[in-house]
Structure 1
Amino acid sequence: MTNAEALQRALELVDARVAEVFHDSAAALVARGATAEEVADHLDQCAEDFKTIRPRLVAELAAFIDRDGETLQ
């Protein structure tokens, strides 16, 4: 597996987990009686927060995967 492939796979796993967390948080809000608008607002804020941190996450994952210039085996 190349470093680019490893980074892509790691990002796919992160994105999948983030989607699960978004779903779980929306379900928890609904269970507490939140309105559709409140849930939508919450999910919009979560998405904005994730867009803010994702570039740093990508950079940190890439640096970790490519540490010391080694290719993952």
Structure 2
Amino acid sequence: MHTHPDGAFHSCIDDEYPILTLPGSLSIVIPDFANIKIRSILSEMMVYRLIINEWKLQSKEEVKDLFKIIG
């Protein structure tokens, strides 16, 4: 999980120098240096999954399948 100053996106640096390199790894990006309301995180974050050496943006439906939110 990491953040950027503006939107939630995967930068060129994120793509070229990933910390996680195993297929299926997830990269969660929260916008605005995470200076947002906690209730907004789920709707504003972007989730990318490493598939065949490429980070693929996951749809909101795919994200719901990946995570179980309790509370």
Asked which structure has the greater RCO (Cα within 8 Å, sep 6+), the reply is 1
More strand per residue: 2
After TM superposition, the score normalised by the length of structure 1 is 0.24
